């Protein structure tokens, strides 16, 4: 979408066109709506309005109901931080006592809007003029105030702000990049920011060794999926690693290395097995979860915790152990057939097995669903027949 088309959408007639598209969209598909409207409106404006309505619908999943009043580009929506994650981050920034935030590379403004909603005074920059116009419109659409300008993230004077936020673009000409050196603005600039008061969103796969000393890394998952890591400079609490698990209702639960006793016991399978959230695993905090549930590890290198207690945890899924079988295909098939098992969920760590192949080879024809965990234990590889006690979060459609 070009700047002129977006400017038109913000005008009185443009808002009328958007409303018309919104209501027509409810009863017909995009092609029908488009051809009907093109007879009365400039085709470029109709195309822009159709794109907005389509993106708004898609964005509601990621950003919540407010997205129905916001504006997007396809790339801007893809890059935007999910609403509950942005709200959690903004809440932490506000709770730390910061008031004036500078967002460097704000995109369509998902983080910016969350910061303004948390009560921060916000100023943002992005190098793309249409994206800037959209971020500005998004603040206004939600009744928020803030300044957004076109420019390079490395230019603004940062001294007037309590805290700087950056979410470098991780998408190069050849798609998503996992190489921090290819971030825009670049990693060298991120390091410069982290020497002051700053929060920087990065890919969750960031190597631990890359994080500067005295900087906290927070791995965040939403509805069971690891989304991002955020680097928090001047970690005043002495925390270096934090895992935050946000459920689909937006409730955040965190654990940090300050709560991690380390040196876990390794023992055989108890009555329950816990599967820590990926944020916990990436933060190397599995042993903190083990301590929380009075548990131990089944293998020093695998992220399965066992315990004789069923202690509901927001940081891990809990399974009741119904049986422990040797990792032998023949015995496994016989045990599952005896139970009338059909649909089989296979979880595994530390053993050479492809779930799809094993499922085929087992040839189960029953109707009872079952879950197995194949893992190493202190004595041997074993198959745990388990019953999930944690409700599995429904998948969300946006990245």
Q: Contact between 84 and ligand SAM (CB under 6 A)?
A: no
Q: Residue 184 or 248: which CB sits closer to ligand SAM?
A: 184
From the CB of residue 291, how many other CB atoms can be counted at a distance below 10 Å? 18
CB contact at 8 A, 109 and 131: no
Task: Enumerate residues 5-64 that contact ligand SAM by CB under 6 A.
Answer: none
Q: Residue 204 or 264: which CB sits closer to ligand SAM?
A: 204
Q: Residue 121 or 371: which CB sits closer to ligand SAM?
A: 121
Looking at 14, 83, 84, 109, which residue binds ligand SAM (CB under 6 A)? Answer: 109
Please, which residues bridge with residue 39 across strands? none
- The CA distance from 275 to 271, in Å, is 14
- The CA distance from 120 to 132, in Å, is 19
> Residues in contact with ligand SAM, total (CB under 6 A)?
21
Q: Contact between 83 and ligand SAM (CB under 6 A)?
A: no
Which backbone phi and psi does 283 adopt, to 5 degrees?
Answer: -85, 5
Q: Contact between 107 and ligand SAM (CB under 6 A)?
A: yes
Which backbone phi and psi does 3 adopt, to 5 degrees?
Answer: -60, -40
Q: Residue 189 or 296: which CB sits closer to ligand SAM?
A: 189
CB 356, min distance to ligand SAM, A: 34
Strand ranges for the chain from DSSP E: 100-104, 121-126, 147-150, 163-166, 171-172, 175-176, 198-202, 216-222, 225-232, 241-246, 252-256, 272-276, 296-297, 305-307, 316-326, 341-349, 368-376, 381-388
Task: Enumerate residues 187-246 that contact ligand SAM by CB under 6 A.
Answer: none
- The CA distance from 63 to 137, in Å, is 16
CB 287, min distance to ligand SAM, A: 32
CB 364, min distance to ligand SAM, A: 45
- The CA distance from 153 to 168, in Å, is 9
Q: Contact between 110 and ligand SAM (CB under 6 A)?
A: yes
Looking at 83, 146, 185, 224, which residue binds ligand SAM (CB under 6 A)? Answer: 185
Q: How do beta strands 100-104 and 163-166 pair? A: parallel
Q: Residue 187 or 327: which CB sits closer to ligand SAM?
A: 187
The DSSP code for 176 is E
Q: Residue 69 or 361: which CB sits closer to ligand SAM?
A: 69
Distance of CA 140 to the CA centre of its chain: 26
Q: Residue 41 or 92: which CB sits closer to ligand SAM?
A: 92
Looking at 93, 108, 200, 279, which residue binds ligand SAM (CB under 6 A)? Answer: 108
Binding mask 334-373 for ligand SAM (x = CB under 6 A): ----------------------------------------
Please, which residues bridge with residue 226 across strands? 221
Distance of CA 201 to the CA centre of its chain: 11
Q: Residue 128 or 292: which CB sits closer to ligand SAM?
A: 128
Task: Enumerate residues 122-151 that contact ligand SAM by CB under 6 A.
Answer: 125-128, 131
Contact residues for ligand SAM, defined by CB under 6 A: 79-81, 105-111, 125-128, 131, 152-153, 167, 169, 184-185
């Amino acid at each position: 979408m070009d700047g002129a088309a977006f400017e038109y959408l913000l005008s009185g007639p443009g808002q009328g066109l958007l409303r018309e598209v919104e209501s027509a969209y409810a009863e017909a598909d995009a092609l029908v709506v488009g051809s009907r409207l093109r007879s009365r409106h400039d085709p470029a404006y109709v195309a822009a309005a159709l794109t907005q309505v389509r993106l708004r619908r898609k964005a509601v999943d990621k950003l919540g109901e407010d997205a129905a009043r916001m504006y997007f580009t396809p790339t801007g929506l893809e890059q935007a931080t999910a609403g509950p994650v942005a709200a959690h981050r903004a809440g932490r920034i506000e709770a730390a006592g910061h008031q004036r935030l500078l967002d460097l590379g704000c995109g369509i403004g998902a983080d910016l809007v969350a910061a303004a909603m948390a009560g921060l005074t916000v100023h943002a920059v992005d190098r793309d003029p249409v994206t800037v116009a959209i971020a500005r419109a998004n603040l206004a659409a939600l009744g928020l105030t803030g300044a957004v300008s076109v420019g390079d993230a490395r230019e603004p004077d940062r001294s007037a702000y309590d805290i700087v936020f950056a979410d470098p673009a991780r998408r190069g000409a050849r798609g998503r990049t996992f190489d921090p050196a290819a971030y825009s603005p670049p990693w060298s600039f991120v390091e410069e920011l982290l020497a002051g008061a700053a929060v920087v969103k990065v890919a969750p796969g960031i190597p631990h060794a890359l994080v500067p000393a005295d900087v906290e890394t927070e791995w965040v998952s939403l509805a069971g999926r690891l989304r991002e890591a955020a680097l928090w400079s001047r970690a005043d609490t002495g925390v270096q690693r934090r895992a935050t698990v946000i459920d689909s209702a937006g409730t955040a639960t965190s654990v940090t290395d300050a709560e991690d006793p380390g040196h876990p016991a390794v023992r055989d399978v108890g009555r329950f097995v816990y599967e820590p959230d990926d944020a916990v695993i990436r933060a190397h905090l599995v042993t903190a979860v083990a301590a929380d549930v009075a548990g131990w590890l089944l293998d020093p290198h695998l992220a399965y915790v066992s315990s004789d207690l069923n202690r509901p945890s927001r940081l891990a899924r809990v399974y009741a152990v119904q049986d422990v079988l040797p990792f032998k295909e023949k015995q496994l098939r016989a045990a599952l057939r005896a139970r009338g098992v059909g649909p089989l969920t296979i979880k595994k760590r530390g053993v050479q097995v492809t779930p799809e192949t094993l499922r085929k080879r087992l040839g189960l024809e029953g109707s009872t669903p079952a879950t197995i965990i194949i893992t190493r234990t202190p004595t041997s590889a074993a198959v745990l027949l388990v019953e999930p006690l944690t409700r599995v979060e429904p998948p969300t459609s946006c990245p």
